[in-house]
Amino acid sequence: MTLLPANVVLPDLYAIEDQGSDAHALVHLFHPNTHWHWYLLERGQGEKADVLFGLVHGFEVEYGYISLAELERNGVEYDPDWTPRRVGTIEQAARHDELN
C-alpha cells in the first residue's frame, strides 16, 4: 500500500529550502493512535523517492528527513482534507501546543 496518493507531488529535496518558514507543507500525515504528525515539504526522486523532508510533531517539534517506507510500516495515514499552509505557522502552533 502506498501512503501518498499518485496525484500528490512534492517539490524535490532542497528545491524550496531557501523559502524557510514561508514554505508550504503540502501534505499532512498522522498516526491515528498517537499524537504524532508529519508535515511534508519535499521528496527525493528516483532511487531516493522514499526520502521525505518536513516538520515532525512528535516527542518534539523538529525538521528532519523521514522514511516513507517506515511511515507505511507503522500505520501512518494520509490526511485527504489537509489544506496546505506555511510551515512556520504550523511550527509555531505545534510549539505552543507542546508547552501546554
SS3 letters across the chain: CCCCCCCCCCCECCCCHHHHHHCEECEEEECCCCCCEEEEEEECCHHHCCEEEEEEECCCEEEEEEEHHHHHHCCCEECCCCCCEEHHHHHHHHHHHHHC
Give dist(CA 43, CA 68) in Å, integer. 9
pLDDT above 70 for 100: no
pTM of the model: 0.94
Instruction: Say if residue 59's pLDDT is above 50.
Output: yes
The amino acid that residue 15 corresponds to is A
Q: Which residue has the higher pLDDT, 71 or 99?
A: 71
- Per-residue pLDDT, averaged over 31-53, amounts to 97
Question: Does residue 95 register a pLDDT over 60?
Answer: yes
Does pLDDT of 50 surpass 60?
A: yes
